[in-house]
Amino acid sequence: MRIFYRIILFILITMTIHLDAQQFIGLSDDLIEGLKVTSDEKYDGGSLWGYMDGGADLYLEYGFNKLIYQELEWRGMKFKLELFEMQDPIAAWGIYSVNHRNCLPVDTLSGFSCLNKFQYQLVTGTFYLNLMTATDNEESRHAMVYLGRQLVVQLPHKQLILPAWHLLRDSANVMNRVKIFMGPVAIDNNLFKWYDWLDDFGAYRLYQLPDKEKRGRDRFFLECSKDQIRIFLKRLGLSVTDKELQKNYLDQTHGFKINITFSGLEIN
């Protein structure tokens, strides 16, 4: 009987490994008529520095699993594809949020996407996709969106669960501009004034919610533990008790209204 159960366990493990390998395969010649994959490379956490050198630190900070890099030819056009698998949907959405800029949202299956002249980015489940071309015309942009959609439907989907504040933001255009920071590399690159406040802070998530009316009053939601909240308030010059953590504060020095709300701090 033990031998039987060992055989069943071995079969299940083998099937799981096989399915996992199948799920992360990128584009292929037989998926789209006329598509030719001219280069196909794979990277993990140990080899990512060999692909992007200093840029690897940002992806590892968010929680990187794997990368597929492909060079593609289709209908006389050439493209480069980066498909990142992150640890969870928040990590994938986070790396997308700090990478996309100067682009417009595109209606796709994923719900979060951005397109400019030479680049198409989207996030779905645990995957962040980046498609690039050197050709500046409408045909190449339509092609990037089409190729991205064909790849998205092949990927396993995991639901993105946002903190409760997302219920206050019903605009897809605004949600597409939300940014999430998860460590010192992202903060240093995008929000340097926060660096000292969050230096050596441990694990956290800092969400930047754009002002709908673009008046320059973005709001921030800091998701962390109670002890971290206390440390953060102290760095702002505030010393509070547990009871006082439930109250509102206005710090005249920094001009932030600080609320304990949901599972962290809301700063506006």
pLDDT digit string, tens, across residues 152-175: 988 887 877 766 555 555 455 566
Q: Domain total for the chain?
A: 2
- Alpha helices (H) along 153-225: 172-175, 184-190, 195-198
Domain identity same for 204 and 239? yes
Give the end of a domain, one of 152, 178, 210.
152
For residue 54, being part of any structural domain is answered with yes
Q: Which of 13-22, 118-127, 133-142, 208-217 has the lowest mean pLDDT?
A: 13-22
What confidence score (pLDDT) does residue 245 get?
Answer: 61
What confidence score (pLDDT) does residue 238 get?
Answer: 72
For residue 118, being part of any structural domain is answered with yes
Number of H helices, E strands in the chain: 9, 12
Domain identity same for 141 and 176? no
Query: Is residue 143 helix, strand or coil?
Result: helix
Nearest one of 147, 94, 91 to 119, comparing CA atoms: 147
For residue 207, being part of any structural domain is answered with yes
Domain identity same for 122 and 168? no
Q: Nearest 5°: phi and psi at 125?
A: 55, -125
8 or 121: which carries more pLDDT confidence? Answer: 121
What confidence score (pLDDT) does residue 153 get?
Answer: 87
For residue 195, being part of any structural domain is answered with yes
Give the end of a domain, one of 107, 128, 152.
152
* Res. 73 pLDDT band, cuts 50 70 90: very high
User: Taking residues 252-264, what's their average pLDDT?
Assistant: 43
46 or 157: which carries more pLDDT confidence? Answer: 46
How far is Cα 190 from Cα 79, in angstroms, rounded to an integer?
A: 28
Q: What is the rounded end-to-end Cα distance, in angstroms, of the chain?
A: 63
Q: Which residue has the tokens 């050197």?
A: 134
DSSP for residue 192: G
> What is the rounded average pLDDT for all residues in the chain?
79
* 14 exposure class (CB count in 10 Å sphere: 0-12, 13-18, 19+): exposed
Domain identity same for 145 and 205? no
Instruction: Please state, in angstroms and as integers, the Cα–Cα distance from residue 160 to each residue in 62, 64, 80, 166, following that order.
Output: 15, 17, 26, 11
For residue 193, being part of any structural domain is answered with yes
Distance of CA 240 to the CA centre of its chain: 33
User: Taking residues 198-206, what's their average pLDDT?
Assistant: 88
For residue 22, being part of any structural domain is answered with no
pLDDT digit string, tens, across residues 5-42: 444 434 433 333 333 444 567 999 999 999 999 999 99
Domain identity same for 207 and 235? yes
* 100 exposure class (CB count in 10 Å sphere: 0-12, 13-18, 19+): buried
Q: Which of 121-130, 198-207, 258-267 has the lowest mean pLDDT?
A: 258-267
Residue 248 is part of which domain span? 164-267
What confidence score (pLDDT) does residue 261 get?
Answer: 40
For residue 17, being part of any structural domain is answered with no
Give the end of a domain, one of 106, 128, 152.
152
Domain identity same for 188 and 247? yes
136 or 165: which carries more pLDDT confidence? Answer: 136
